[in-house]
Structure formats: C-alpha cells, structure tokens
Amino acid sequence: MKIAQEAVDRIKEGNGNKINFIWIEANGCAGDIISFLNADEPDALYFLKEMVNLKYSPSLMQAEGERAYEEFLETLNTDFILGVEGSLTNVENGFYDIFAYYKGKTISVAEAVAKAAEKAKHIIAIGTCASFAGISAARPNPTGCTSLSGFLGREVINVPGCPANPLWVMGTVASLVLYNKVEVDDKGRPLMFFKDTNHVNCERRSYFDNKINAQKLGDKECMFKLGCRGPVTKAYCPIGRWNSRINWPVGDNTPCIGCANEYFPDGSEPFVRY
Amino acid sequence: MTIKITLDPITRISGPLSIEVEIEKNKIVNAKSSGVQYRGFEKMLTGRSPLDAVYFTERICGICSVAHGVSASLALEDALKVKPDANGIKVRNFAHAADFLQNIIRQICLYVFPDYVKISALPGSIGGDFRLPEKYTEKINEDYIKAIEYSRLAHEMVALIGGKVPHSHGIFVGGTTVSLDPFKIIRLKSILQSINDFIANNMVEDINIIAEYYTEYYKIGGGTGNLLTYGLFDEMGEGELHYVNPSVYIKGKAYKLNAKAITEGTAYSWYSGNKISRVPSMEPTETDIKKEGAYTFIKAARYEGKVMQVGPLARMILSGSYKNRISTMDRLMARVLEGKKLSEKMLKLLEIIEPIPAVQERYTIPESSVGMGLKDSVRGALGHWLAIEKGVIKNYDIVTPSVWNLSPVDERGQHGAMEEALIGTEIKDVSHPIEIGRIIRSFDPCLSCATHVITDCREPYYIDLI
Amino acid sequence: MDKKLRHKQMLEDINYCNKMINLSYCMYAKQYWINLFNKKMEEALKELEAPETKEENKEETKQETAREPEKQFTLEELAQYDGSMGKAAYIAIEGIVYDVSWNSCWGGGTHFGLLAGKELTAEFKKGHMKGIEVLKELPVVGVLK
C-alpha cells in the first residue's frame, strides 16, 4: 500500500521515533486483532517494526498480570495512538468486561479506556462494535453496550467492519503516522475506504442492472433478492476485498450483510432470505 | 501462610481471563479461573431467523469463528433435515481444518513462544525464566516472524472457500457456497504445502527444543485424565482421512459419546439459580453478579457429572496418535503434532475434492424443529443446540470447549480441568509465578467463547445422537 | 393515439391530480397526488418541447394515467408480494401500496427485520420520524382496498 510505504520512508528519514500504540480489546470477540494479523502489503510485522511501537495489546504483548497493566500506565505518559475494538459496557461499574486486577483493585475496560482516551493523541474505534456498538449491542443488548464515541461523549475515528478489514485499519494508522490526521465523513469513517457503497463497485452490477437474480446462495448472479445489503453499506469490499485481496462475501456467492453498517446486525436482518 | 495472587490480564490468550491462586509453601493449593467478560448471545439469538444463526454465532469468537459457523450449520442441517452433498462436506471440512492451522500456528508461535523466549519483534518481555541458548533463541524469533506470514496464509485458504475470515460467509447450511475450479484448487494446494512444510519442519523442531529445556513441564499442569471429543473428520470414512470419532475416555476406558450426559451448572457462576441443567435447556436466564461465592461468567460443564478435558491432546490420545500422558508440555506438543497431522490429511483431502460449484438449495424453515451440531473445534468440543418455534429461533444453546477446560468448581467441589491443573503446582518464585501463565496457555483459552452463554434449569428437549 | 387526443388526455390528468390534491386530507395521499401532478407536468412540458417527428407512428410507450382504475389490493393479495422466491416486494403505508422490489434499503424484500407484503404504517412512522420524504422515490402500484 503506497500510503503506508510513504509513512515508513518518512519515519526512516525523519527523527526515527515511532509513535506508541495501545490496542485495547473491549467487549467483543477479539476478531479485529485477528483480522489485523491477516494484513498483507504491508503486513502486521511491518506495522510492528516500522510504523508504531505496540506497547499494549492483550493478544500479543509479552508481559502479563500487574506488569502488563504497568506497561499500559507507563505508555499513557507518552505520545500514543489509542485503538479500541469491541463495544463499551459501563453498566454495574463495567463489571461485564474487566481489564485488569492491580494492587487489590479491579479495573474495568470502561475505566481503562476512559483513562487512555484522555491522553491519546488519536483515537480509533476498530470494528463495528467499537464504531457503532455492533453485535455486542444486538437486541436486547444484555450488557448495555455502546459505541466508543458514545461512551466517551466525543468524536473518534471510526473504522467499522465485522471484523474491521486490515487494509482499512492499516491505511488509517498510516494516514495518522504520516499526516497526523485522516479525512473522515460525517460518521467519522475514513473517506479513503468509506466513500461509496459496496453496490457502486460490485462486480455483479451488470446482473443487478439487468435484474438477473440469484435464486440461492452459491449462484453467480446478483444477490439483492436474497437480502444483499451492499446498496446501503459504505465500505471498500469490492475493491480491496478481504484476506490479501483474494475474495469477499459477494464474490463467494453470498449476500453482503452490511457488517460495516451503523445498524448491524439488527438493521441487516434477516441476513439470508429466499 | 497463604499467599493470594491474582493474575489479570492473562495476556496472549483469546479474551479476558483472571486467575486467582492461593499458594502455601510455594505450592498452589487453590485456583479460581474467572472469565471476566459477558455479552449474552443466547438472549440475542431468540426471535431471529434460523438461517441467520450461522453468521451470527460466528461472531461469538474472532479466532475460531469458522468453528462456530460449522457447528451452527450442522445444527441447522439437523433441524431443517438437510443432507449436504459429499463434496460440500469435504470442502467445509477442509476450510474448518485450515482455520485449525491458523489457530495452531498463532497459538504456539505468537502466544506461547514468548513464555519461553524473549521475542525482539515486540516491546516488553515476560522476563524471568529463559533457558534457551542464543542460537535457539534466534531460531524461535525467526519462526515467530514466519508464523505471522504462515498463519495469514492459513486464513487465505479459509477465505478462498469462505469469502472472508474472521466471520466467513461461505460456510453455510448444505456445505459451502464457493464455486470451486482447478485454479482455486491449485491455489489451495500451493498454500497448504508451504504451511505443511512450516509446521512439520520448523514448528515441530521448535516445540521439541522448548520441551528439551523445560522438561519439568511434562510433570506439571496435567489436570483431569478424563477426555472428551465430539469428533473431527469422523465422517470422512475409515481410511487415512479419518481422525477421531465422538468419544470419551473415563478412568482408563474409552466409550462412545452420549450427548445426553452433558450438563451445565452455575453454582459458582454469576447466573441466577443454582441447579444443574441438561444441555440443551429451554430458556436463557439472568445474570446475578452479586451471587454469593460466584467468581466467573463461565459455567461448569460436566459429563456424567465428571470433569472432562478437551482439546488437541484429548483428540490425539483418543485417536491413538499420542501416548496417554497429560501435562502442560504434552498439551503443547499434541497441538503442534495435530497441526502436522491435519495438514497432511488436508493434502490428501484436496486430492479427492471435486472442483465443482457448491450445491445449495432454497432451504425451507419448518414451523418448529430442534437441531444439534456437535463438532470439535481447535480448542476442543463445541456444541450448538437450536430450537425453532413459529419459524424463528426459540432457544439457542452453545457449549464451547473453554467451558469444559476453564470451568469453575462445581456443586460437588470438583474443579474444572485448568483449575485442577494449577492446583499442586510448585511455584519457584512467588514474586514472578511464571508457571501459572505457561500452564494456562497450554490450554489455549478462549474467553469470548466461554462467557457468552446462559442457560436455565427447565425441562430440556432431547435430541438423539445417532 | 394521435397527438391531439394525447394532449387532451394529459390535460385531463393534470386537472384530476390537482383536484385530488385539494380533496385529500391524509398527508400521504396528498403527497402521492402532488408527486403524480409533478410527474404529469414534466411529461406535458417535455411533450410541448419535443419537435414534430414521426413519434406518433412509433409504438405507444406505456404511460401511467391517473384515470386508469388504480389496482386495489386486499391484505391477502398484498401478502403475495412479499419479495420472497423472486416475487415483487410491495408494502402499504397509509393505504397506498408502494413497490420496494428494487429499493436499496429492501434487499431480499426485508428491511430492519420487517418483511414486505404487509401494511407497515405504524412501523414506518416509528422508524422514519422525520417524515415522508423517503416515500417520494418509491413507485406506486395501487391502493389498499
């Protein structure tokens, strides 16, 4: 990806100081970090070596227990980008999602996120749960989950997707590292990736335009009559695709379920309808 | 004098886990495994369209979403009376196994290696007990880096079949949705061969090196010798593709699995009520975070009232591929060897997969029905139970492998497998109890899976396991 | 149809729409007639600007006329058009039946868990509190009996 490569070169020729990165996993499935590890050109290794110092990540970091929490606290006193995946639950003092146990005290994820957000240089909501509350808040929302911006009461960069596509996260971080900002739309989503709906660039448009419909999953025709949410979902899937750009749901003969939408999943139901 | 240590966060696992141990004279005398996250998936699923269960339940877990997709598809096929075509089953099993490989590579190389070797690609360190000489430290660091690429490739295989991963679309009722052709087959083959090479050569060597320098881990962190598996590649005939049948191992003998013997208890979990319920039950129940004595969101799954251990070690022993020995290092070794075994089976499977489009139908949802989908995922036995009423989901029960392994103590005082594994372990340095994390990670915990569930003690519905 | 007759018909349609706008109390019905009025005016203006050609000899294009009896749907008939199995997807709001078969928000004939082929006034009002602007673009296929 060009923008990430530029960021790398700039870092190399500049002061060589990489910004720190805190990746918090809130109330979700931890799918966004797994998705991010699937990044390709540049890959996750490039990210770790050349773009940021990943100071905190529950999935990857080496320290554990109190030492891990201390590394989190230490990073708060530096320049860092905060990335949060998963929804925020603050009911019952955030009991439904715990971050750490430190010196006799239980710290909820909500508390840790609030602490980090105060000091972060940039804040990214990674994935639909963090951006828009997502499936963790699906009816009836048993744990009162909200989006990151809803919880903090301020705007953040939203990179939705269930999970967030690694291209979108990588490109957003690259923009911040290189230009100290990223252009977003009215919902905080980077315009790089959320300008058009999946319908605009779908490879099956000629089928749609001629009203040639798939009858069931597995067919090669337009998936609209089976429940495709492509026409109402802004994302980058038909262009950048998934998993090293090799495939995407529609290309796999299934409808788009609008996983990057504000109202996913309740607003996309039912996902499949014959 | 009893020292209480709480380790939270346990890093390099999937999801938030808190461990509290009591240590007397440098030995762990009590352990509490706490799943400290909850979302309530079963409540969410009630009232939704049954076909949506596949994509919805995948989102219970980011690292093993394919496993949920498979179990949900199996449960729906049972409820809808759908019989996938033979090729569809093979392709779905291939995608499932590909996700196993991703899990195994990431779990061993990215999650476990840093326990034994300082990794230079990431800041920080677990510190303390590093014993490997320089040349092996370098080798494992190199393989850590390579693992990032090979695990990504494993997911590329899943995406070729499933459209994307995590949270694939192509795993579905009836098999898969992908239109296979010779070009896709050769792409799968080329990726698989490189991964097979990495596991068989690099990873096997690495885990043997670690085992050589940390031999005492063959003696600690065992846990119960009762094993359970829902089977894997058991529908692939009896030849070289077959892996392990649904079975249990109790007190020295192997038996066929009886799904009706599975129960879940909430005695020490943050859910209201204190009874044992058969799985599946009828309705989700409420959380009760003020419950006396409770310490986790994970429930206690039992088989015939007994504590069971699940995962690669259970499968390898039950299939006769590994000697019957249970310990921390055995679990790690079995995981790597299972990776090698699976990738070899996948190569053979690929030879008989036909490069044809998927067979899918317009499935009819019955007014009412029940279904069950039991299949092992990489971490162990994963079960989905579904009841349809008035054409929508009335109830959905899920019991994940981590509910077996990471379960709390039950009403009879029996600790779950991991708690039992910790109890009795000698801690060399109480100020840096590195043994705890190493034992925990050998179980490959997944908390987003283990903590989603709630069931209640009502009249259960029964499904015959054929 | 020859040109003179066609123009007479157009004028009659426009006047009829105008009359119905004034007679309608329900804002949904009013909007329906306003939309139809605007459409008819557009067509009339286009007709007036079009040069003399052999258009009259060409095949007649099918035109929606206000004087054609509106298709009337019972609830049972409406239920047939639920968008499943490749069928068209119709919904009824305040007595007017709209075709949502190819509306972006109605993939698979469903919208936020709602199925087509139904009377959805209450749900519409709840979900679109800002009003009826969204209905402007929807093709109308008839009215509820």
Q: Per residue in B66-98, is it b (16+ CB within 10 Å) or e — as a string?
A: bbbbbbbbbbbbbbbebebeebbbbbbbbbbbb
Instruction: Report whether pLDDT(A201) > 60.
Output: yes
pLDDT tens digit sequence for A114-158: 999 999 999 999 999 999 999 999 999 999 999 999 999 999 999
Instruction: Report whether pLDDT(B464) > 60.
Output: no
A234 in C contact zone (CB under 8 Å): no
Mutate: best of A18, A33, A35, A38, partner B, most B CBs <10 A = A38
Residues A147 and A19 in one domain: yes
Residues A176 and A232 in one domain: no
Report the C-alpha gap between C9 and C3 in whole angstroms: 10
A140 in C contact zone (CB under 8 Å): no
* Cβ atoms of residues B28 and B440 within 8 Å: no
B32, containing H or E segment = strand B27-35
Residues A125 and A29 in one domain: yes
Report the C-alpha gap between B380 and B382 in whole angstroms: 6
Given this model, what pLDDT does residue C57 score?
43
Neighbours of chain A (3+ CB pairs under 8 A): B, C
Q: Could you tell me which chain C residue has the CA closest to the CA of A227?
A: C108
Q: B56 contacts in A (CB within 8 Å)?
A: 135, 138, 265, 271
- With cut-offs at 50, 70 and 90, classify the pLDDT of residue C133: confident
Peptide bond into B9 cis (omega under 30): yes
Report the C-alpha gap between B396 and B384 in whole angstroms: 7
Asked if A218's CB is within 8 angstroms of B11's CB, the reply is no
Q: C110 contacts in A (CB within 8 Å)?
A: 227, 269-270, 273
Residues A96 and A133 in one domain: yes
- With cut-offs at 50, 70 and 90, classify the pLDDT of residue C70: confident
Given this model, what pLDDT does residue B193 score?
98
Q: Could you tell me which chain A residue has the CA closest to the CA of B438?
A: A64
Distance (Å) of CA B399 to CA A212, B284, C145? 42, 13, 51
Report how many Cβ contacts below 8 Å link chain A to chain B. 253
Check the CA dihedral B107-B109-B115-B118 and report its sign: negative
pLDDT tens digit sequence for B308-357: 999 999 999 999 999 999 999 999 999 999 999 999 999 999 999 999 99
Q: Could you tell me which chain B residue has the CA closest to the CA of A50?
A: B121
> Is B395 in a helix, a strand, or coil?
strand
pLDDT tens digit sequence for C18-68: 999 998 888 888 888 998 999 999 988 888 887 655 544 444 444 444 455
Q: Could you tell me which chain A residue has the CA closest to the CA of C105?
A: A232
Residues A130 and A78 in one domain: yes
Residue identified by tokens 């495994």 is: B33
Asked if A249's CB is within 8 angstroms of B164's CB, the reply is yes
Domain boundaries, chain C: 2-63, 70-144
Tokens of B168: 């694939």
Report the C-alpha gap between C75 and C94 in whole angstroms: 13
CB neighbours of A235 closer than 8 A, spacing ≥ 6? A160, A161, A165, A193, A194, A197, A198, A260
For B149, other C-beta atoms within 10 Å of its C-beta total: 17
Residues A84 and A201 in one domain: no
Asked if A217's CB is within 8 angstroms of B62's CB, the reply is no
Based on the structure, what is the number of domains in chain A?
A: 2
Asked if A272's CB is within 8 angstroms of C112's CB, the reply is no
Residues of chain C in Cβ contact (below 8 Å) with chain A: 83-86, 102, 104-105, 107-110, 112-113
Given this model, what pLDDT does residue C4 score?
85
Architecture of the C70-144 domain: Roll (3.10)
Please, what is the end-to-end C-alpha distance for chain A in angstroms?
39
Residues A87 and A163 in one domain: yes
> C87 to chain A nearest CA, in Å?
9
Asked if B122's CB is within 8 angstroms of A61's CB, the reply is yes
Q: C112 contacts in A (CB within 8 Å)?
A: 263, 266-267, 269
Give the closest of A223, A272, A274 to C85, CB-based: A274
* Cβ atoms of residues B394 and B49 within 8 Å: no
Residues A189 and A213 in one domain: no
Give the closest of A40, A101, A272 to B152, CB-based: A40
Q: Which of A157, A179, A194 is the last residue of a domain?
A: A194
CB neighbours of C4 closer than 8 A, spacing ≥ 6? none
Q: Amino acid identity, residue B43?
A: K
Residues A46 and A117 in one domain: yes
Check the CA dihedral C41-C44-C48-C51 and report its sign: positive
For chain B, percent of residues with pLDDT exceeding 90: 91
CB neighbours of C44 closer than 8 A, spacing ≥ 6? C7, C10, C11, C14
Q: C105 contacts in A (CB within 8 Å)?
A: 231-232
Report the C-alpha gap between B25 and B426 in whole angstroms: 9
Asked if A44's CB is within 8 angstroms of B148's CB, the reply is yes
Mutate: best of B5, B11, B364, partner A, most A CBs <10 A = B11
Burial class (CB in 10 A: 0-12, 13-18, 19+), A229: buried
Q: Per residue in A42-70, is it b (16+ CB within 10 Å) or e — as a string?
A: bbbbbbbbbbbbbbbbbbbbbbbbbbbbe
For C127, other C-beta atoms within 10 Å of its C-beta total: 13
Neighbours of chain C (3+ CB pairs under 8 A): A
* Cβ atoms of residues B392 and B386 within 8 Å: no
Residue identified by tokens 């290092």 is: B329
* Cβ atoms of residues A226 and A214 within 8 Å: yes
Tokens of B43: 């409540």
Q: How far is CA A103 from the centre of its chain?
A: 32
Report the C-alpha gap between B86 and B398 in whole angstroms: 26
Asked if A215's CB is within 8 angstroms of C86's CB, the reply is yes
- With cut-offs at 50, 70 and 90, classify the pLDDT of residue B233: very high
The CATH number covering residue A99 comes to: 3.40.50.700
Q: Which of A161, A194, A227 is the last residue of a domain?
A: A194
Instruction: Report whether pLDDT(B173) > 70.
Output: yes
Give the closest of A34, A217, A270 to B172, CB-based: A217
DSSP B133: -
Residues A202 and A133 in one domain: no
Average pLDDT of the residues in B250-278: 90
The CATH number covering residue A221 comes to: 4.10.480.10
> Which one has a higher pLDDT value, C65 or B109?
B109
Given this model, what pLDDT does residue A9 score?
65
- Angle of helix B434-442 versus helix B328-352 axis, rounded to 10: 30
Residues A231 and A135 in one domain: no
> A167 to chain C nearest CA, in Å?
26
Of B37, B38, B32, residue with least CA distance to B6 = B32
Given this model, what pLDDT does residue C123 score?
94
| Boundaries of domain holding A221 | 196-274
> Is B11 in a helix, a strand, or coil?
coil
Residues A178 and A77 in one domain: yes
Distance (Å) of CA C49 to CA A99, A261, C52, C53? 71, 45, 9, 12
Out of A242-251, B272-281, C84-93, C112-121, pick the least confident: B272-281
> A188 to chain B nearest CA, in Å?
24
